[in-house]
Amino acid sequence: MKTLIILDKVGTIGMQYALVEGDVSKYNGLVLNRDTEVEKECVNFLTEGLKTDTIRFADNLNLFSNRSWNKTAVIVYYEPIPLKYVI
């Protein structure tokens, strides 16, 4: 089983995509800015995958056009903009 991870870093670069072995769809719908246990687990998973090169993000979904995944996890990283930049 494989999962397509779609990482949306709101306000920075566009979406990034990675195909990983296993079912990590439990991270689907996470917004990484609230510091919950599931979020910490997800950040650890992503960090470890990037360190060990088992997760490689790309900015082009066409690289995964063969649709060889079974699950999807959309993860949003949102860093609030300081109020002084909004006004």
* Mean pLDDT computed over 56-73: 84
> What pLDDT shows up at residue 19?
92
pTM of the model: 0.80
Per residue in 14-56, pLDDT (tens digit) is 788 999 999 999 999 988 877 788 888 998 899 898 888 989 9
Find the range with the poorest average confidence among 20-24, 58-62, 74-78, 79-83.
79-83
The two structure tokens encoding residue 4 = 């397509």
pLDDT value, residue 68:
84
Alpha carbon distance 62, 43 (integer Å): 25
Of 5 and 84, more confident: 5
pLDDT at res. 65: 77
Are residues 64 and 4 in contact, defined by beta-carbon separation less than 8 angstroms?
A: yes
